[in-house]
A and B are shown apart, each in its own frame.
Chain A
Amino acid sequence: MSIDLKTIKHISKLSRISVDEKKAEKLAGDLNSIFDFIEKLNELKTDNIEPLTSVAETTLKLRSDEVKSKNLREQVIKNSPNENEDYFVVPKVIE
């Protein structure tokens, strides 16, 4: 299998990480060597194996739907990278 520059550009778009030509070439090289190594899994037949999603063989606990934390507004906004104290501000999205 080979991951080409077009695929790198596609993954870069999906992961919202901008990638220039130079970086794309480096990434293609790295990812190809990593996937060569991953391909080893194809040696195994796994048709009738149940996929393992969690090692913990317990079911999730239920709890009552009650509000436990209150007035966290200030805490939530505290680490916002913009100066505004009341909102999260982002670049304009509507023309």
Chain B
Amino acid sequence: MLDITKQSLSELVENVKSKKLSSSEITKAFVERSEKSKELNAYITEDYANALDKAKKFDEKPNFNLKLPGIPMAVKDLFCTKDLKTTAGSKILNNFVPTYESTVTQNIWNEGAILMGKLNCDEFAMGSSNETSFYGNVQNPIDKNLVPGGSSGGSSSAVAAQLTPITIGTDTGGSIRQPASFTGTVGLKPTYGSCSRYGIVAFASSLDQAGPMAQNVKDCALLQEVISTYDEKDSTSIDFKRNEYSRELTRDIKGKKIGIPKEYRVDGMPKEIEDLWKKGIEYAKDCGAEIIDISLPHTNYALPTYYIVAPAEASSNLARYDGVKYGFRAKGENLIDMYEKTRSEGFGAEVQRRIMIGTYVLSSGYYDAYYLKAQKVRKLIKNDFDEVFKKVDAILTPSTPSSAFKIGEKKDDPVSMYLNDIFTVPVNLAGLPGISIPAGHDAKGYPLGLQIIGKAFDEQNILNISYAMEEKIDFKNKINDWWIK
């Protein structure tokens, strides 16, 4: 049998069900590998002793009917986990221990999985490189000193390095798909309203979605099936018929119409990305799909729109961190002074920058010029997608405009950092599902991803297309365990 940590989630589930492996054996293997991998800094909080204890309990009274029987899993530290510290990568939540569980993680534990720990991320999920985390940057297992992407950088690093069989991230502007692309893994951002936002630390409420990050498409489909539920605790949760995504997964995509948007051919895009995209089109054709040229004319306006809408919502959501009810509190001479010092010392530079942008665009005299304008452009962007989805079943684009960059490379230039999300942000603005699958390597051997965008609630379709293309691409991640001494 393969080394335990090298097995995919689906293989592990199969091996537990056929009693070839126990939950304790699997959990021990992943805990040991995680302990040897501290240099990656993928974890903020480890919960190994409890995990091993829960695995033992599972083995004493196993339930093989569950979808994730005794499977250990670490999750992004943006999900509230009852009685285990949840920081959102911020100093301001350094001492916050939730008294409740997020719906998405509860769904996972209900299917038999076991929490191993909380994974690093950009502070309040604001970043594309995991460098804004108060708990330090994360190394990409592909190469030392390379960012793992962000904001779900601890998650992408942990899945690629096989510290956890699978994980969950959150995606507001690309925070699942971009790190998946940077680490040669699969990441799905579901339709807005598919996965409950209850118990997830809020960043931009009209954009945030939780989703799976996995080693392959089948695992991704299985976890999506577990986490996607209607939840009355989230008023934006949508009550639609959800598929059994993994059971209904098929490689038969013959005759599916896949759109290629000309506006995604951006100025200065590296030739490697252009070539990858062309290869992707060929793979899709090989699978029997029909390729159609399409136009999404407002693509170029998506990022500026996002950088009004997301900070505006963030400034409102983050107003709750005032040092009074929970979290870090600084000493102040009076109440206002305490608020101002708490927020100045508790939030990092990027979060402060975004709160300021958001406060400005919502402030008296500027609301119409910025926020209302952005909401109108957001409508135009959504209309573009509505129009093309009358003609096509899915859209194929690159996931990112480049492969992973070096730690520190873009840190001091916010706009160049923001440009990283150019292909992922439109999907959030329109509330659509999008998936990134690994599709090749650049000249340096770093992974590159392709993104498949679907109609709202049509996760099954983009999972199927990914599943078919994955087989043709036959991607192999180049990881040599450099961090294990």
**A binding-site residues for B, Cβ under 8 Å:** 3, 7-8, 11-12, 14-19, 27, 30-31, 33-34, 37-44, 46, 49-56, 58, 60-61, 63, 72, 75-76, 78-82, 88, 90-93
Chain A residues whose CB sits within 8 angstroms of the CB of B206 once the complex forms = 53-55
The CA-CA distance from A57 to B38 in the complex, in Å, is 45
Is there a chain A Cβ closer than 8 Å to B18's Cβ? Answer: no
Is there a chain A Cβ closer than 8 Å to B379's Cβ? Answer: yes
Q: A49-B380, A79-B97, A79-B325 are in contact. Are A41 and B343 (CB under 8 A)?
A: no
Contact B324 A55 (CB under 8 A): no
Q: Which one, B95, B347, B414, B431, contacts A17 given CB within 8 A? A: B347
Q: A27-B353, A30-B353 are in contact. Are A40 and B96 (CB under 8 A)?
A: no
Chain A residues whose CB sits within 8 angstroms of the CB of B319 once the complex forms = 16
**B binding-site residues for A, Cβ under 8 Å:** 95-97, 99-100, 192-193, 206, 232, 235-236, 238, 298, 300-301, 303-305, 307-308, 315, 319, 322-329, 332-341, 343-344, 347, 352-353, 355-357, 359-360, 363, 370, 372-380, 382, 414-415, 418, 429-431, 456
Contact A55 B97 (CB under 8 A): no
Contact B379 A15 (CB under 8 A): no
The CA-CA distance from A50 to B329 in the complex, in Å, is 42
Chain A residues whose CB sits within 8 angstroms of the CB of B322 once the complex forms = 16
Residue of B nearest to A48 (CB): B376
Contact B373 A41 (CB under 8 A): yes
Chain A residues whose CB sits within 8 angstroms of the CB of B353 once the complex forms = 27, 30-31, 34
Chain A residues whose CB sits within 8 angstroms of the CB of B429 once the complex forms = 55
Chain A residues whose CB sits within 8 angstroms of the CB of B377 once the complex forms = 41, 44, 46, 49
Contact B355 A17 (CB under 8 A): yes
Chain B residues whose CB sits within 8 angstroms of the CB of A88 once the complex forms = 324-325
Contact A11 B360 (CB under 8 A): yes
Contact B305 A56 (CB under 8 A): no
23 interchain pairs (CB within 8 A)? Answer: A11-B356, A12-B356, A15-B359, A17-B343, A17-B352, A18-B340, A30-B353, A37-B303, A37-B418, A38-B370, A40-B301, A42-B373, A46-B377, A49-B379, A51-B375, A51-B378, A56-B192, A75-B99, A79-B95, A81-B327, A81-B329, A91-B334, A91-B337
- With both chains docked as a complex, state the minimum distance between the C-beta of B206 and any C-beta of chain A, in angstroms: 6
Most A-side CB within 10 Å, residue of B300, B328, B347, B415? B415
The CA-CA distance from A43 to B340 in the complex, in Å, is 37
Q: A40-B304, A53-B206 are in contact. Are A91 and B379 (CB under 8 A)?
A: no
Chain B residues whose CB sits within 8 angstroms of the CB of A50 once the complex forms = 376, 379
Contact B363 A55 (CB under 8 A): no
Chain B residues whose CB sits within 8 angstroms of the CB of A11 once the complex forms = 356, 359-360, 363
Chain B residues whose CB sits within 8 angstroms of the CB of A72 once the complex forms = 99
Contact B356 A56 (CB under 8 A): no
Contact A41 B304 (CB under 8 A): yes
The CA-CA distance from A11 to B431 in the complex, in Å, is 30
Chain B residues whose CB sits within 8 angstroms of the CB of A90 once the complex forms = 324, 335, 338
Main secondary structure of the interface of A (DSSP, over half): loop
Most B-side CB within 10 Å, residue of A49, A52, A75? A52
Contact A60 B431 (CB under 8 A): no
Contact B193 A52 (CB under 8 A): no
Chain B residues whose CB sits within 8 angstroms of the CB of A40 once the complex forms = 300-301, 304
- With both chains docked as a complex, state the minimum distance between the C-beta of A74 and any C-beta of chain B, in angstroms: 8
The CA-CA distance from A70 to B377 in the complex, in Å, is 44
The CA-CA distance from A36 to B275 in the complex, in Å, is 32
Residue of A nearest to B350 (CB): A30
Contact B307 A78 (CB under 8 A): no
Contact B235 A16 (CB under 8 A): no
Contact B376 A49 (CB under 8 A): yes
- Contacts A53-B206, A56-B431 known; list 7 others, CB within 8 Å: A31-B356, A41-B373, A44-B301, A49-B376, A52-B378, A55-B456, A75-B99
The CA-CA distance from A33 to B307 in the complex, in Å, is 12
Chain B residues whose CB sits within 8 angstroms of the CB of A34 once the complex forms = 307, 353, 357, 414-415, 418
Most A-side CB within 10 Å, residue of B319, B376, B379? B376
Chain B residues whose CB sits within 8 angstroms of the CB of A17 once the complex forms = 340, 343-344, 347, 352, 355-356
The CA-CA distance from A64 to B372 in the complex, in Å, is 33
Most B-side CB within 10 Å, residue of A11, A38, A91? A38
Most B-side CB within 10 Å, residue of A7, A53, A58, A75? A58
Contact A60 B235 (CB under 8 A): yes
- With both chains docked as a complex, state the minimum distance between the C-beta of B191 and any C-beta of chain A, in angstroms: 9
Q: Which one, A31, A81, A92, contacts B328 given CB within 8 A? A: A81
Chain A residues whose CB sits within 8 angstroms of the CB of B307 once the complex forms = 34, 37-38
- With both chains docked as a complex, state the minimum distance between the C-beta of A83 and any C-beta of chain B, in angstroms: 11
The CA-CA distance from A54 to B235 in the complex, in Å, is 12
- With both chains docked as a complex, state the minimum distance between the C-beta of B201 and any C-beta of chain A, in angstroms: 13
Closest 3 CB pairs of A and B: A55-B431, A51-B375, A79-B326
Q: A55-B430, A79-B97 are in contact. Are A33 and B356 (CB under 8 A)?
A: no
The CA-CA distance from A41 to B324 in the complex, in Å, is 38
Q: Which one, B305, B332, B375, B376, contacts A91 given CB within 8 A? A: B332
Residue of B nearest to A63 (CB): B232
Chain B residues whose CB sits within 8 angstroms of the CB of A52 once the complex forms = 375-376, 378-379, 382
- With both chains docked as a complex, state the minimum distance between the C-beta of B224 and any C-beta of chain A, in angstroms: 18
The CA-CA distance from A81 to B97 in the complex, in Å, is 12
